[in-house]
């Protein structure tokens, strides 16, 4: 089958939206299909959104492609008679973040009109699809709430989960993720003001926000945590990531209202490490169940500190949760055979 995987991208920003395309393309090729991965630029500048929508809508792949799979919005606008959508999130400022502090433009007639047009375009394009999948129950609920679209949850796997392993349950909590305000590395640093055991924190990742990086560095210094909290503002290779997780006590992933469980949670689970997260982290709580394969606590520094101390003082508990974390991947049917069966049926 000739398959095109189409997705939007923001230049110079790398993350889960690109991984899902690249890894899906790899697995489809391994299964004998001809695959083209097509990235189209998209920037969330209000005045440019509708012209960009039109450019997506004018694409015609119907003569060259047997199956179109779209990933990141607004790629689902591309028409095709055999289109399946793997929807990972809306343009959120016009949906669930409309009433949030992240919306920096006014709630006026012009922007409400733009919001209506975006929603109408999304609804029209999604209804054309043979089937709509999402990467989490969170996103499925949003599609139903805002667009009245039914969807099926299809959890994205890692490309090579076998590269992750457990060596020991050491003395570090590791947080391996993009460094952005909504990932809330600052909340975990704040928690370490209240941690009583000798456990350490390692933060690694790149950021698109230099002011947030500076904020984290100042926070570590101000609270005199330099000996306990290390912050490496850099890209971590897959090999190094595997080694850091192999020796960790547990991992942390604390995004605010995340669309899905996030690859950091999946990597940690594959390494048999418990995941520390919060009750308001969105899709992460679909993977992590409190006291089964990790800790899900209130997004408060003292609650996080208590959970960290508990895992440090009880390594057997950390081991049990870590083993359950790997088992949880099987329970949720997170594997590429299932993904390909659903997308190609």
Q: What percent of the chain has pLDDT over 90?
A: 95
117 pLDDT above the threshold of 90: yes
Instruction: Encode pLDDT of 96-113 as tens digits.
Output: 999 998 898 999 999 999
pLDDT given at position 14: 65
Q: What percent of the chain has pLDDT over 70?
A: 99
Structure tokens at 58: 């004018």
pLDDT given at position 102: 86
17 pLDDT above the threshold of 80: no
Separation CA 283–CA 104 (nearest Å): 25
pLDDT given at position 13: 66
Q: Which residues contact 75 (CB under 8 A, 6 or more apart)?
A: 6, 7, 8, 40, 56
CB count within 10 Å of CB 85 equals: 26
154: left (phi over 0), alpha (psi -120 to 50) or beta: beta
Instruction: Spell out the alpha helix ranges (H) of the chain.
Output: 16-30, 46-57, 109-128, 137-142, 185-191, 210-222, 238-246, 263-270, 284-287, 301-313, 315-331, 336-344
Instruction: Encode pLDDT of 227-246 as tens digits.
Output: 999 999 998 988 999 999 99
pLDDT given at position 11: 73
87 pLDDT above the threshold of 80: yes
Instruction: Encode pLDDT of 143-180 as tens digits.
Output: 999 999 999 999 999 999 999 999 999 999 999 999 99
**Start-to-end C-alpha separation, the chain:** 12
Instruction: Encode pLDDT of 244-302 as tens digits.
Output: 999 999 999 999 999 999 999 999 999 999 999 999 999 999 999 999 999 999 999 99
What CATH homologous superfamily does 2-154 map to? Glycogen Phosphorylase B; (3.40.50.2000)
Would you say the CATH fold of 161-331 matches that of 2-154? yes
Residue 65 — pLDDT band, cuts 50, 70, 90? Answer: very high
Separation CA 249–CA 144 (nearest Å): 39
Average pLDDT across the chain, whole number: 96
Q: Between vectors from CA 325 to CA 319 and to CA 330, what angle results, nearest 5°?
A: 135
Q: Which CATH class is domain 161-331?
A: alpha beta
pLDDT given at position 24: 98
**What residue segments make up the domains of the chain, in order of their start?**
2-154, 161-331
């Amino acid at each position: 089958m000739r398959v095109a995987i189409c997705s939007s991208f923001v230049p110079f920003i790398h993350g889960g939206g690109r991984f899902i395309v690249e890894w899906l393309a790899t697995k489809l090729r391994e299964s004998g299909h001809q695959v083209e991965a097509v990235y189209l630029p998209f920037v969330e500048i209000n005045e440019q959104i509708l012209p960009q929508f039109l450019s997506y809508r004018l694409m015609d792949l119907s003569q060259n492609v047997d199956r179109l799979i779209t990933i990141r919005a607004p790629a689902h606008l591309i028409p095709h008679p055999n289109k399946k959508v793997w929807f990972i999130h809306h343009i959120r400022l016009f949906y669930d973040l409309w009433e949030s502090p992240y919306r920096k433009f006014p709630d006026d007639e012009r922007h409400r009109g733009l919001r209506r047009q975006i929603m109408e375009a999304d609804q029209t394009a999604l209804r054309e699809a043979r089937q709509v999948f999402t990467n989490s129950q969170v996103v499925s609920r949003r599609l139903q709430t805002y667009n009245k679209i039914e969807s099926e949850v299809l959890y994205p796997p890692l490309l090579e989960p076998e590269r992750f392993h457990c060596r020991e349950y050491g003395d570090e909590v590791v947080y391996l993720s993009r460094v952005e305000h909504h990932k809330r590395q600052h909340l975990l640093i704040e928690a370490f003001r209240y941690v009583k055991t000798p456990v350490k924190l390692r933060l690694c990742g790149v950021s698109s926000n230099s002011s947030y990086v500076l904020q984290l560095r100042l926070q570590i210094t101000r609270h005199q945590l330099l000996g306990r909290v290390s912050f490496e503002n850099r890209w971590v290779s897959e090999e190094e990531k595997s080694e850091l997780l192999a020796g960790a006590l547990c991992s942390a992933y604390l995004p605010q209202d995340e669309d899905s469980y996030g690859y950091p949670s999946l990597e940690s689970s594959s390494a048999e490490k418990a995941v520390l997260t919060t009750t308001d982290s969105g899709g992460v709580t679909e993977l992590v169940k409190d006291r089964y394969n990790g800790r899900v606590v209130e997004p408060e520094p003292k609650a996080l500190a208590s959970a960290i101390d508990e895992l440090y003082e009880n390594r057997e508990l950390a081991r049990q949760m870590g083993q359950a974390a790997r088992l949880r991947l099987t329970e949720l049917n997170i594997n590429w055979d299932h993904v390909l069966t659903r997308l190609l049926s």
